[in-house]
A and B are shown apart, each in its own frame.
Chain A
C-alpha cells in the first residue's frame, strides 16, 4: 500500500507570501493529483501530473518521479487561498487501491 505523507500539516502565512506544500509517497505511481477543499465545501481537482511541472494562475505543481516527491506552490498568496490542500496518488494497475490520499495541509492566509 502506498504511503502518502504531506507537510506541513498546518500552515499560517501572511497575504503575499510564497507558499510551498510538500507531498511524498512510498511506491511508484501513475499520476499525482493536487486537490483543494474549502471549509464545508467539496473537493476540486487543481492539477493532475505524471511528470515535470504544471502552472495555473498563481498555482504551480511539480513532481520528481525518481525522488517520489511533489510540491504545490502558491505565489502571491491571498486569503481566498485558505483551504485544505490534499495530495492523492494514483496507483498503477487494477485493484481496489486506485487513489491513495494524504491527510491534507490546512492553509490559512491572513490579510
Chain B
C-alpha cells in the first residue's frame, strides 16, 4: 500500500547512544517532516524538508539532525540520546509544503531513552 513507512516501531536506547530513525514515502511527495509527540502536548515539528536537497529546523530541533537522502527518504538522527528525547516520533509527507494538500503520516516510532 502507498504511504509513509517508518522504522523501527520501537527502540530503547541508553543515554549517550546514537541511532537513526528511517522514513520513506512512495507517493512522490516533495515535502517531508519529522514530529515528536509527548503527553499533554500537540505534535511538534523537529525538522522538515520542503523539497529534495533542502532541510530546515522546526520548533524543537536541538539534539537532532536530519538527512534528505533522496526524494523518497528522510532520516532523523539522534547523535547522543538523552532521556528528554523519550517520545513518539512521526514522519509525515505532503505534496507541497505550504499549499492546501493533505498530509500522510507514518505509524510512529516509540523511543525510550534510559
Contacts and interface: CB of A to CB of B under 8 A. Distances in A.
Q: Do the two chains bind? A: yes
Interface of A: 4, 30-31, 33, 35, 41-45, 48, 50, 86, 88, 90, 92-94, 96-104
Interface in B1-54: 33, 40-45, 48, 50
27 contacts: A30-B100, A33-B102, A33-B103, A41-B108, A42-B105, A43-B105, A43-B108, A45-B103, A45-B105, A48-B102, A86-B43, A90-B98, A90-B100, A93-B98, A94-B97, A96-B45, A96-B48, A96-B56, A96-B57, A97-B45, A98-B33, A98-B98, A100-B42, A101-B42, A102-B42, A103-B41, A103-B42
B86 interface: no
B55 to A, nearest CB: 11
Contact of A50 (B48, B100, B104, B108): B100
Nearest to B106: A42
A105 B108 CA distance: 19
Contacts, number: 67
How large, as a class, is the contact surface on chain B?
20 to 34
A98 B103 CA distance: 11
Contact of A86 (B42, B50, B58, B97): B42
Contacts of B41: 103
